[in-house]
Structure 1
């Protein structure tokens, strides 16, 4: 039994706990092989009390896991402080504690791993050429999604005390990770009942390389959602953006997506939310500032419709 366990942990690149504290526990996993993808890496946060009880927990999967918890591991010395946001909403009584699975971005392969494959396939020739130039390799988000929804989730559910159902499984990311979260929500509705699409990079490429509010690009997103959205059926999705730096380019596309949500019969405030943060930039400190609000709505048991 011990030999089997050590072989399994070696396969998953297990490392010792990164931190043990009253505010939860972080565990790191390195060099995870995933079919057709660059090696993956995880940082998992377990809520306070996890090790002492038998409770089962809902799970939030988050992209760019290196930027979630630890400044020393972050790209820009900025983090989402996802554990602190979760603790805050749990303390408020609006949200149950969740396990957070942070999936690190694979360096230079991040773009091609996060660009939704079905949107890439539907893009017009000129836009697809720009996507190809940015990707510098095959777009593999379909494989990434299959890995998260399949082997990764199965391992998380078998290794930790989770509640594996759709309504207890969320996926959250920003920028290209926002697009990837929308992709997971639309393509695998039986797996992900909650999605946070934060500062989604709707231009998909350098926004200065496409016309402001490009109508063909806006139509791409409109048609992409229209073909896949379906009925809410208890699902819930959050959209947002700021108004500065890269986020300043997002409003025309987000407005199209918002209109599609309404046209599809989704009720704002209950099934979906879309908010604008005046002056907020496209960076981790801005996302950290609003993450308690995101978690508080997205993960709440019973969000209240807007009046």
Structure 2
């Protein structure tokens, strides 16, 4: 078991058993799935007020689902405020109608579930041979995405009033959740049209670690980035706490995006001065990635 990555610096949240409540819309917990190769976890779906009157809805898949709606049930008493922000944007007509599929994490397996596992083999052989917990860790991102795409999405598509096509299917997360959102786009470009990687943990491991994990992630990105025209990418970071490590790494990623031919509005990188690596900061700017992913003016790109 890779205990290294269950420390607070990666926000490895404790599972919460208290039922979550929302102040806008409705939250439903889905039946248990037959999890294959990953630890079982609750999955919730948030439905906006008036659902299903504006069907078909887009579907936003989000990770760390226990942190999104109710601060009274989270380990740090913070939340994203997804229900409030999403409701306000939809009521104002700033986004198309959408639901949120919230997949909880399992704190003990979070890093292995979210790390883009095909990136590890791109490190030099000598680095992969070093005795380091990361090199011995079990990585399960491929299985996690197989669950999301092969089991969860078909269930949502069948049981909820959503449009199942790529143009109306998007994904988002923060920190390690940002990495797995990006990985989902690159592994399943036929499924997802847009991803928001918020406070992306480009380091991949601890800030003071010496393995070239960040470089391997960038190599994977460069080798698997789809050609511009049918996909959209949103990146951002703050400037405080763990986010203070991200600016030089994000600049290198931005170079890859630019060299691949990505331009606004299909690619956006934002910096939020004073924002830290926590849910309060992500809540404060959540409207920005939601407008990017689901704004009415963005849909023409995704429909091509």
TM-score under structure 1 normalisation? 0.85
Matched with 1:229 is 225
- Cα distance in 2 for partners of 1:197, 1:29 equals 25
1:185 aligns with 2:185: yes
Matched with 1:47 is 48
Matched with 1:3 is none
Q: How many residue pairs get matched?
A: 282
1:147 is displaced (CA, Å) by 1.0
SS at match of 2:183: helix
In the TM superposition, 1:1-307 aligns within 5 A as 23-29=24-30, 31-51=32-52, 53=53, 55-124=55-124, 128=128, 133=133, 137-210=137-210, 216-267=212-263, 269-303=264-298
Matched with 1:11 is none
Change (3 A) 1:274 1:20: closer
Change (3 A) 1:30 1:163: closer
- Cα distance in 2 for partners of 1:131, 1:121 equals 15
Q: Is the 8 A contact 2:111 2:176 kept in 1?
A: yes
- Cα distance in 2 for partners of 1:135, 1:218 equals 14
Q: Is the 8 A contact 1:66 1:75 kept in 2?
A: no
Runs of 5+ unmatched residues, structure 1? 1-16
Change (3 A) 1:283 1:261: same
Q: Is the 8 A contact 1:221 1:253 kept in 2?
A: no
Matched with 1:4 is none
SS at match of 1:40: coil
Range with bigger deviation, 230-239 or 78-87? 230-239
1:130 is displaced (CA, Å) by 8.5
Change (3 A) 1:93 1:132: farther
Q: Is the 8 A contact 1:131 1:205 kept in 2?
A: no
- Cα distance in 2 for partners of 1:170, 1:117 equals 21
- Cα distance in 2 for partners of 1:136, 1:76 equals 30
1:29 is displaced (CA, Å) by 3.3
Range with bigger deviation, 189-198 or 31-40? 31-40
Matched with 1:9 is none
Change (3 A) 1:226 1:272: same
1:31 is displaced (CA, Å) by 4.6
Change (3 A) 1:284 1:163: same
1:126 is displaced (CA, Å) by 6.9
- Cα distance in 2 for partners of 1:147, 1:181 equals 14
Matched with 1:10 is none
Can you list the C-alpha shifts for 1:38-83, whole angstroms capped at 9, x where unaligned? Answer: 01211210111115x3721000000000000112321211000111
Instruction: Specify which structure has the bigger relative contact order, considering alpha-carbon pairs within 8 angstroms and separated by 6 or more residues.
Output: 2
Can you list the C-alpha shifts for 1:152-187, whole angstroms capped at 9, x where unaligned? Answer: 100010010110111100110000000000100111
- Cα distance in 2 for partners of 1:246, 1:134 equals 19
Q: Is the 8 A contact 1:27 1:44 kept in 2?
A: yes
Change (3 A) 1:123 1:135: closer
After TM superposition, where is structure 1 displaced by more than 4 Å over at least 4 residues in a row?
A: 17-21, 125-132, 134-137
Change (3 A) 1:195 1:232: same
